[in-house]
Structure 1
Amino acid sequence: MNANSTKFSQTLHQAATPFWQKSIHHPFITELASGKLPLTTFRYYLTQDTKYLAAFEQLHERTAALLPQSQGDLLLKLAAGSGEDDQRNPMLEQMNLSLEEIQKAPIAPNNYAYITHMEHQLSIDPAAAVAGLLPCYWLYDEIADYWKNQTSPVPVYQAFFDSYQTVGFDTSTQQLIDLVNELAAAGDETVRQQMMTAFLRSSSYELGFWQMAYTHQTWSDMINNPA
């Protein structure tokens, strides 16, 4: 494709639509919106997502070290300034979920695979690593936008949706989209294909994350129900 004729992010978005539509309408999300999701399931999600976010921040830092300074500085700024911790910590408090309890919990298979996938992109190309980070921003932004007109009757569930409707999160998402477009325009077709692969695989793992939380996935599940 000609990277200058269409924004590469639009091509990524279109390719990931099947994954994203399933994420937006996954039972985990629809039951969050309706208030029907068991609190134990949301607690499991928060435990795994907090583990994921710690690795996600480190991935920003490791990717930044491979980029030109101005691009790397942007990733470091996004890692430090997304405000996600500020939004997340009150939810952990409402769920009486301590960081010590989260640290002791084993990482779930899909969570482990998602993080490992993004670490692998560091050995492929920095542009692929950046593309692999983007679905976590962009998909959550779209989920929050899709459900913005429905108020969950469970306050902590509504806080989840509200946390991704802030101006700061919207700005961070757009800045990362712009960086992906910049890297795609500077790269050749091989690089753009690597970026596409990373983006789609991250989108797949995002969908798997909802299912992982919905079923309280454990490692014994991998033995009893191999994929």
Structure 2
Amino acid sequence: MTFTDELRKENDDIYQLIFNHPFVQGIGKGELPKQAVEHYIKADFEFLNAFVQVYSIALSKSTNREDMAYFHEQIQFTLYDEVQPHLNFSDYIGVRFEDLQGHPLPPSGDHYIKHMLYHANMGSLGETLSALLPCPWTYLEIGQELIKKYQPTKDHPFYKWIHFYAESGHETEQMRKRLDAFAANASTEEKLRMKDAFRKSCQLELAFWEMSYTCEEWPSNKAVTQ
């Protein structure tokens, strides 16, 4: 069993909670509150900006061209390819994607990006990848689970979103292989930190879906609107 196989097995409980979350199931059913989708897009745009920052830090800490090339490719993928699912969601709510950019992160999203940035700045490349991997890996499996359960056709409102992530296996597999390579040379203590970073990111992935579905706000903002 590889290191990433272990990570997947140890965190299956959170994966199942993510698959069964009402936002995720709403994607499969093609029925979601538009306010929740808008909240998600606003937060995810900023989250992916942070992903690029984390990849950039990892790139700056890389000592060989293979790692440099990998992180450079991931920056390009995040900046350009992952626009497509956002456009699908934007079309669903009838709001221009450009109008959903530049908004403050809600608490759970803010916590998540600072968790990733902490490991990128303070930890090893193995820790950094451990904090990053749950995002692409859970989305890959979400897409696959939704296709299996709902078998969406091209007239499904989230067909493009679902298939984009269901077919993102190459990105996840590349990250897994790189993380397994780092783990092979890591000490016991570092592996424990890597496992902790991975599980917390899984928890924060679940929190991100809940944040979006409930339109989570900072307490002071919520008090003002009541």
Q: Do 1:47 and 1:102's aligned partners in 2 also have CA atoms closer than 8 Å? A: yes
Indicate the residue corresponding to 1:81 in structure 2. 77
Q: Which residue number in structure 2 is paired with residue 194 of structure 1?
A: 193
Q: Following superposition, which runs of at least 4 residues in structure 1 exceed 6 angstroms of deviation?
A: 221-224
2:17 counterpart residue number: 22
For 1:205 and 1:221, the matched residues in 2 are separated by 22
How many angstroms apart in 1 are the aligned matches of 2:30 and 2:134? Answer: 25
Which residue pairs with 1:117 in the alignment? 115
How high is the sequence identity, in percent, across the aligned residues?
23
Counterpart amino acid of residue 100 in structure 2? I
Structure 1 residue runs of 5 or longer lacking an equivalent are: 1-5
Distance 1:77 1:187, change over 3 A: same
RMSD: 2.2
* Equivalent residue number for residue 161 of structure 2: 160
Q: How far 1:41 moved relative to its partner? A: 1.3
Task: Summarize deviations over 1:177-202 as a string: whole Å, max 9, x none.
Answer: 00010000011111111110110010
User: What's the offset of the Cα at 1:93?
Assistant: 4.4
**Aligned residue in 2 for 1:143:** 142
TM-score by length of 1: 0.87
Q: What aligned pairs does 1:162-177 form with structure 2 within 5 A after superposition?
A: 162-166=163-167, 169-177=168-176
Q: Structure 1 residue 97: deviation in Å?
A: 3.3
Alpha-carbon separation, structure 1, partners of 2:89 and 2:27: 14
Matched with 2:182 is 183
Contact persistence 2:4–2:179 (CA under 8 A): yes
Shift of the 155–39 alpha-carbon distance from structure 1 to 2, 3 Å rule, reads farther
> What is the CA–CA distance in structure 2 between the aligned matches of 1:90 and 1:212, rounded to whole Å?
20
- CA deviation vs aligned residue, 1:63-105 (integer Å, no higher than 9, x gap): 1211232123212212213521244335434534345533343
TM-score under structure 2 length normalisation? 0.87
How many correspondences in the alignment? 217
